[in-house]
Amino acid sequence: MNASSSSPANETEDLQPAFRYDAALADRIEIGWQRRWSEQGVYEAPNPSGPLGNQDADDRPKLFVMDMFPYPSGSGLHVGHPLGYIGTDVFARYKRMTGHNVLHTMGYDAFGLPAEEHARQTGEHPRVNTETNIANMQRQLDRLGLGHDKRRSIATTDVAYYRWTQWIFLQIFQSWYDVESGRARPIAELEDLFEKGDRLTSDGRAWLEMDSTEKRRELDQWRLAYLGEAPVNWCPALGTVLANEEVTAEGRSDRGNYPVFRRPMKQWMMRITAYADRLLEDLDRLDWTDSIKTMQRNWIGRSEGAQISFATSPGPTIEVFTTRPDTLFGTTAMVLAPEHPLVDALTPDVWPENTPHQWTGDAATPSEAVANYRRQVSELTDLERQENQTKTGVYVGAHCSVPVNDLQVPIFIADYVLMGYGTGAVMSVPGEDQRDWDFANEFGIDIIRTVQPPSDFDGEAYVGEGPAINSDFLNGLYIEDAKRSMIDWLEREGHGARTVTYKLRDWLFSRQRYWGEPFPIVYDDTGLALAVPEDQLPVELPELIDWAPRALDEESDPEPPLGRANDWVEANYDLGNGEFSYKRELNTMPQWAGSCWYYLRYLDPSNEERFVDPVIEKYWMTDSAGGVGGVDLYVGGVEHAVLHLLYARFWHKVLYDLNHVSGPEPFQRLYNQGYIQAAAYQDERGVYVEAEEVEESSGEYFYKQSRVTRTFGKMGKSLKNSITPDEMYTAYGADTLRLYEMFMGPLDQDRPWETKSVVGSHRLLQRVWRNLIDENTGETTVVDSPPPDALRRLSHRTIEAVADAMEGLRFNSAIARITELNNELSRSAERVPREVAESMILMLGPLVPHIAEELWERLGNTNSIVHSRFPEADPELLVDESLEIPVQINGKVRSRIVVASDSNDEALQEAALSDGRVKELLSGKEIRKVIVIPKKLVNVVVS
RNA sequence: GCCCGGGUGGUGGAAUGGCAGACACGGAGGAUUCAAAAUCCUUUGCCCUCACGGGCGUGCGGGUUCAAAUCCCGCCCCGGGCACCA
């Protein structure tokens, strides 16, 4: 160990002490402990019973901490991916050290399009590719030292898993929503009710008069999973239909940004709308952020109002939904969606006399006008429709009657009225609705105000509060009262009723893809669906040579690839009347299916009798504090606000209604982690250049001598700004990466990655190491003597602050406080007393488990730090005997005084006023008031 | 347009009515070194001052209070969500 070696190659090696905490030592420590932890199963959380059960009664409180499980991408991880995983790991480790039985694991949401695309390009089976990707991702995650119970890991593509996804589908299929009791019930109970005549069938026909096929058709209409003929989102480029939630506002596919067309097709639907109110109400009981709750509320889109019937001159009655029944007296037109089913019946052969020319769309007859307009509308994309704010439409040539005053108003079709919302028909009240105002303006329609605007109002439609005018019996009433009176009148006179409408639509549940769960459904020659018996599950995916969806266009029909598995499409089952051959359902489930219940399978992953054992489910999913229960902490990205989180809540509620789970909600507390952003650089053409090769010089950025501009964005391939965890392991080790990611800022905030700052976190670990370990021998330098009083107090204050920060997921603050304690140890020339050293190591345990475990062992402990107790602050040591407190004069700090911490107000005031500097500044001033805040400050108010 | 977040030094951030800028990165200076890296020490919001000290300061304007980054009112800017939803 001397520096006089002549060979430069050996020099660094000679200078470097053998036990300096550097990347190489970190690597040895981390790999070693990961192996030992794995061998000893330290992260295994016992169940109350079953194969993962613990013979010894475990009376620790349970805690279920979960990440949103990832799709196993083939491109590997960058440092942005594991941010949330590290956060949950730190929290789970902290809770384990405070005496909780913590369930923390990770699985894979492995069905989905990329594996199928990969298969189409390479010919490799999606399962092979998926398993390769999972193995690779698992390796990257393992290196981070995440404390997962590996026994509980699942992938949604496991046959043993999707068997139960299919089973849950069957529970939903074999249920109906009983509005009277407000919950799902088995379909057999509905059959009973029909049988006894206690319930009316959908069209009022007597059950006993129906033949068996008619009975089946009747029951099928009530199921929570049903085949519906509805306009769906057909995406030819993906060869599949999509859920509303998967289509962007621009009318393109969420994935891939391909055009999506609305077409009626027969598809599997989930009756999520039956749960709209409960999904809405139960949000109040969840510990989620307001922004996510708001997004879900908006998506469900509940509006209260009235349904009103308008009689028409040709005969059919038009039903309208409105949130403003109080404005009925202002109705001067009726506007239907162009595809409204009554339009044809309302359209006469010739224009009525005196039809204004501008209403006719230049057409010779009403039906020509309607046909022309419909064609014109269908040629617009959704985006063009939205951008085109000028109102268009045509008169259909008929009138209807406003029920409250028998005013005859013209009926139009216009594309600003959407078929998908309400009844697809709008009573047009231009005075009180800006869209109707704009329409009335285009077509010269009368405008009648029904709410008195303030005298200074100079806008067009008036949507604000005010007394009703021009409204007969409503005149003078304010909006809420006027609405109530009008609805009362409508109900009394039989012209309408109070109604609630939702934006939420039923969930379109089938996809024309290969790599998804097959439906456990077959068809007999009636064409009606039949459940595959539970004991015949799983229905396994067949082997295929050609996985691709057929290249398709807007006009063609979707063609499920499973239809090409000739040996599979027909199957023999005994469904209670002997064995027959049936045709299989060829669609597969959407990717969301598997993620709707994976948290339940974590609890009891190997159960072959049930999807989860009820005792085990109750143990992990019940909240002893009386909350809704479910996962105690669920961390993931905000992008799942309305997709996964709404679907999973829906499934959970169905399972709850059917007594398969013990609580009404799956996720008690939801936390959205932020994203790691990174600088990205563009050249003058706007092309992204490799961020790693960009150099900074006095505030400007250069790539190969040419100037580039800097922006910040999500880390990834497209911005060429990815940093991989592997690069960080090589340079610093996993503990440093964990520490840096947690130190960058609060978990829920986006934050910019700065590789050059990582070294700060590495230095902290080096200093901790050096304070406790002799870098030359590797022996600990701690001493067994008790710490000086001041140090002991500091360490207890640190414990208090760190524990508090850990509880609140403020890991950045926890790290700052530990740093302060360690800085104090560095400053002192004394060796570190064991008591303080051990506290500090234990506090570091959740954040940087490997180095903490290593130090713990080097200090002579034989038990693992993973299950050691987190230190507890002694309240008596949190208060110092004396305090330094500031003295303000008129709110500005002018001096500080040192006082006994138990000084009373009088003593504090006395001490402050007798302070030399304060006396000096107060001379010649009149003291008006002295504010004393015990232990905080003294403020002297002078004139 | 509507609904949520957010705006604090050169940078990430701390403080949720009581000392603004903890902790860290970066910068400056120093020690060590033949030299460098690493490490260690000092310093670092802005302005005035040799200094002691003083003034200003949490997006902008106003208010409440002995005291405001924090609470209230009005605006500006940034990010996200929804959007012809009757």
Q: From the CA of A895, how many Å to the C1' of B52?
A: 15
Q: From the CA of A158, how many Å to the C1' of B34?
A: 66
Structural domain includes residue A571: no
Structure tokens at A742: 């947690």
Cβ atoms A869, A96 nearer than 8 A: no
Q: Say whether the CB atom of A175 is under 7 angstroms from strand B.
A: no
Structural domain includes residue A427: yes
- pLDDT band for position A531 (50/70/90)? very high
For chain A residues 333-362, those near strand B by a CB cutoff of 7 A are 337
- pLDDT band for position A10 (50/70/90)? very low
Least confident of A366-375, A561-570, A780-789: A561-570
Same structural domain for residues A538 and A480? no
Least confident of A116-130, A414-428, A480-494, A570-584: A116-130
Q: Say whether the CB atom of A826 is under 7 angstroms from strand B.
A: yes
Helices (H) and strands (E) in chain A, counts: 28, 31
- pLDDT band for position A679 (50/70/90)? confident
Q: Say whether the CB atom of A323 is under 7 angstroms from strand B.
A: yes
**Mean pLDDT of the A615-643 span:** 89
Structural domain includes residue A522: yes
Structural domain includes residue A802: no
**Separation of alpha carbons A879 and A211, rounded Å:** 83
Predicted confidence at residue A4, as pLDDT, reads 33
- Pick out the nucleotide with least CA–C1' distance to A388: B84
Same structural domain for residues A545 and A488? no
Q: Give tens-digit pLDDT for A448-460.
A: 999 998 887 778 8
Structure tokens at A217: 């058709």
**Separation of alpha carbons A77 and A140, rounded Å:** 7
Q: Which domain holds residue A909?
A: 880-942
Least confident of A371-375, A394-398, A458-462, A548-552: A548-552
Q: Say whether the CB atom of A868 is under 7 angstroms from strand B.
A: no
**Mean pLDDT of the A258-275 span:** 86
Question: Based on the structure, what is the number of domains in chain A?
Answer: 5
**Separation of alpha carbons A185 and A271, rounded Å:** 13
Q: Give tens-digit pLDDT for A324-349.
A: 999 999 999 999 999 899 999 999 99
Cβ atoms A597, A604 nearer than 8 A: no
Closest Cα to residue A788, out of A817, A816, A824?
A824
Same structural domain for residues A318 and A398? yes
Same structural domain for residues A91 and A191? no
Predicted confidence at residue A45, as pLDDT, reads 93
- Which nucleotides in chain B lie closer than 7 A to a protein CB? 3-5, 11-15, 18-20, 22-26, 35-37, 39-41, 54-55, 66-68, 79-86
Cβ atoms A220, A250 nearer than 8 A: no
Domain stop point among A638, A672, A706 = A672
- Pick out the nucleotide with least CA–C1' distance to A423: B86
Same structural domain for residues A378 and A410? yes
**Mean pLDDT of the A102-106 span:** 96
Same structural domain for residues A359 and A460? yes
Q: From the CA of A567, how many Å to the C1' of B72?
A: 73
**Separation of alpha carbons A420 and A927, rounded Å:** 72
Q: Is the pLDDT of residue A2 over 80?
A: no
- State how beta strands A579-584 and A521-523 pair: antiparallel
Structural domain includes residue A444: yes
Q: Say whether the CB atom of A291 is under 7 angstroms from strand B.
A: yes
- How far is the CA of A688 from the CAs of A39, A76, A682, A703, A708, in angstroms? 46, 21, 4, 10, 9
Task: Encode A382-392: b = buried (16+ Cβ within 10 Å), e = exposed.
Answer: beeeeeeeebb
Q: Give tens-digit pLDDT for A32-86.
A: 999 999 999 999 999 988 888 875 557 889 999 999 999 998 888 899 999 999 9
Structure tokens at A455: 């005298």
Q: From the CA of A291, how many Å to the C1' of B81?
A: 8
**Separation of alpha carbons A355 and A366, rounded Å:** 11
Same structural domain for residues A327 and A361? yes
Q: From the CA of A522, how many Å to the C1' of B14?
A: 62
Amino acid at A655: L
Structural domain includes residue A456: yes
Q: Give tens-digit pLDDT for A384-434.
A: 666 666 889 999 999 999 999 999 999 999 999 988 888 999 999 999 998
Mean pLDDT of chain A: 88
- pLDDT band for position A167 (50/70/90)? very high
**Mean pLDDT of the A865-880 span:** 90
Q: Say whether the CB atom of A757 is under 7 angstroms from strand B.
A: yes
Same structural domain for residues A324 and A469? yes
Q: Say whether the CB atom of A7 is under 7 angstroms from strand B.
A: no
For chain A residues 230-249, those near strand B by a CB cutoff of 7 A are 249
- Residue with smallest Cα–C1' gap to B3: A294
Structural domain includes residue A576: no
For chain A residues 609-668, those near strand B by a CB cutoff of 7 A are 638, 641-642
Same structural domain for residues A684 and A665? no
- pLDDT band for position A699 (50/70/90)? low
Radius of gyration for the alpha carbons in chain A, expressed in angstroms and rounded: 35
Q: Is the pLDDT of residue A798 over 90?
A: yes
Predicted confidence at residue A709, as pLDDT, reads 79
Predicted confidence at residue A55, as pLDDT, reads 57
Q: Is the pLDDT of residue A633 over 60?
A: yes
Same structural domain for residues A141 and A127? yes
Predicted confidence at residue A9, as pLDDT, reads 35
Q: What CATH number does residue A887 fall under?
A: 3.10.20.590
Percentage, residues of chain A above pLDDT 70: 95
Q: What CATH number does residue A622 fall under?
A: 3.40.50.620
Same structural domain for residues A374 and A432? yes
Q: Say whether the CB atom of A120 is under 7 angstroms from strand B.
A: no
**Separation of alpha carbons A409 and A402, rounded Å:** 7
Q: From the CA of A728, how many Å to the C1' of B27?
A: 25
**Separation of alpha carbons A440 and A389, rounded Å:** 14
- How far is the CA of A405 from the CAs of A401, A496, A640, A927, in angstroms? 8, 14, 48, 76
- pLDDT band for position A863 (50/70/90)? very high
Structural domain includes residue A805: no
Q: Is the pLDDT of residue A701 over 80?
A: no
**Separation of alpha carbons A686 and A699, rounded Å:** 19
Q: Say whether the CB atom of A73 is under 7 angstroms from strand B.
A: no
Q: Is the pLDDT of residue A146 over 50?
A: yes
**Mean pLDDT of the A523-539 span:** 94
Same structural domain for residues A285 and A317? no
- Pick out the nucleotide with least CA–C1' distance to A770: B39
Q: What CATH number does residue A492 fall under?
A: 3.90.740.10
Least confident of A126-140, A395-409, A632-646, A691-705: A691-705
Structure tokens at A460: 């067009």
Predicted confidence at residue A1, as pLDDT, reads 33
